[in-house]
Structure 1
Amino acid sequence: MSEKLRNIGPKSMAWLRQTGVRSLDDLKSVGSLAAFVRVKRAGFKPSLNLLYALEGAILDCHWQEIPDGRRSELILEADAAVALLPQPKGRRMPVAGPVTTTRNDDDYPSLPDADPFEPEESTSSGEE
Structure 2
Amino acid sequence: MSETQKLRNIGPKSSAWLRQVGLHTREELADAGTVEAFMRVKRAGFKPTLNLLYAIEGALLDCHWQEVPDTRRKELVDAAEAAIAQLPPPRYKPAAGPVTTTVLAADTVPERPDEG
Task: Name 1:8's counterpart in structure 2.
Answer: 10
Task: Name 2:95's counterpart in structure 1.
Answer: 94
Distance (Å, rounded) in 1 between the aligned partners of 2:87 and 2:95: 22
Task: Name 2:45's counterpart in structure 1.
Answer: 43
Equivalent residues, number: 103
Runs of 5+ unmatched residues, structure 1? 107-128
Task: Name 1:55's counterpart in structure 2.
Answer: 57
Distance (Å, rounded) in 2 between the aligned partners of 1:33 and 1:58: 12
Distance (Å, rounded) in 1 between the aligned partners of 2:96 and 2:64: 42
Identity %: 63
Runs of 5+ unmatched residues, structure 2? 107-116
Larger Rg: 1
Deviation at 1:95, TM superposition (A): 4.7
- Report the TM-score, using the length of structure 1 for normalisation: 0.71
More helix by share: 2
Distance (Å, rounded) in 1 between the aligned partners of 2:73 and 2:56: 12
Distance (Å, rounded) in 2 between the aligned partners of 1:93 and 1:33: 29
Per-residue Cα deviation, 1:3-49 (whole angstroms, up to 9, x for no partner): 21110111111111111111101001110100001011111110000
AA matched with 1:94 = A
SS at match of 1:57: helix
The runs of 4+ residues in structure 1 deviating greater than 3 Å are 99-103
